[in-house]
Amino acid sequence: KAGVTQTPRYLIKTRGQQVTLSCSPISGHRSVSWYQQTPGQGLQFLFEYFSETQRNKGNFPGRFSGRQFSNSRSEMNVSTLELGDSALYLCASSLRLRQEQFFGPGTRLTVL
Amino acid sequence: DAKTTQPNSMESNEEEPVHLPCNHSTISGTDYIHWYRQLPSQGPEYVIHGLTSNVNNRMASLAIAEDRKSSTLILHRATLRDAAVYYCIPSNFGNEKLTFGTGTRLTIIP
C-alpha cells in the first residue's frame, strides 16, 4: 500500500507570494492533519480535516488555510508568504479520527 | 495539553536495550500516551501507544507507571536504524491534534 505522498517535495518562493501544498493520504484514510516543523519551534499542529470538514485548528494566522476533497486528498495554502514561513510542512493521515497517524516525507518550503 | 519532560539526548550501544523516559505529571485520566519517532530527513513515524497497562508491539514496549505520571519506551535491541528523535505525546483520542515537544535525540554507537 502506498504511503502518504506530498507534492512538491521542495519549493522556493519569495516574500509576498502564495503557495499551495498537496497531500494524498494512504488509500482509505479519511483524516488528514498538517504540521509545520522549524528548527526554532519544532513540530507544530496546523489543522486537521475529516470528511472534508476542518475538525481542529492550531495557533496560526489566517494566512494559513486548508481544505480536503471528497477523495480525502488535502491541500494547504499560505498566502502573503513571510521569511518565517520557511519550514518543513508535514501531512499525516489516519484511517479515521482517533487512530495512529502516518506521516508523509514533507514539503520543504524556502521563502526568500 | 499535558506537559512532557524528556531528556534532550541519550546514547546507547548497538544491540543493547534502550530505555527512553518521559514525565507527564499533568496527564489527564483520558489521555493516551503516544510515542512517535523521527528519523533523519523523514516525517515522524508512529511507534506505540497505551493508556494504563504496559504494551508491546514489533517495534518496542511501553511501560506506564501505575500513577500514569511517567512512562518508558523500551527498545529491546537497538540498531543503527533506531537513531532518531523520540517524542512522547499524551493525547486524548478524542482530540486528533498531536502536540510534539522537543523529544529525545537517540544516538546509537556501533
* pLDDT greater than 70 at residue B64: yes
Give the integer Cα–Cα distance in Å for A9 and A14.
17
As a whole number, the mean pLDDT across chain A is 94
For A32-72, write each residue's pLDDT tens digit.
999 999 988 889 999 999 999 998 899 999 999 999 999 99
Residues of A in contact with B43 (CB under 8 A): 4, 90, 92, 103-106
Nearest by CB to residue B100, choosing from A42, A48, A104, is: A42
Residue B93 pLDDT > 70: no
How high is the pLDDT of residue A1? 66
Quick check: B73 pLDDT over 90? yes
A98: left (phi over 0), alpha (psi -120 to 50) or beta: left
Name the nearest CA neighbour of B44 among A4, A71, A78.
A4
Q: Is B42 an interface residue toward A (CB < 8 Å)?
A: yes
Contacts of A97 in chain B (CB under 8 A): 93, 96
Write the residue in B42, B94, B100 that is nearest to A43 by C-beta. B100
> Tell me, what's the pLDDT at B94?
61
Asked if A48 and B96 come within 8 Å (Cβ–Cβ), the reply is yes
The pLDDT of residue A96 is 74
pLDDT at A104: 95
Query: What is the pLDDT at residue B53?
Result: 87
Does pLDDT of A4 surpass 80?
yes
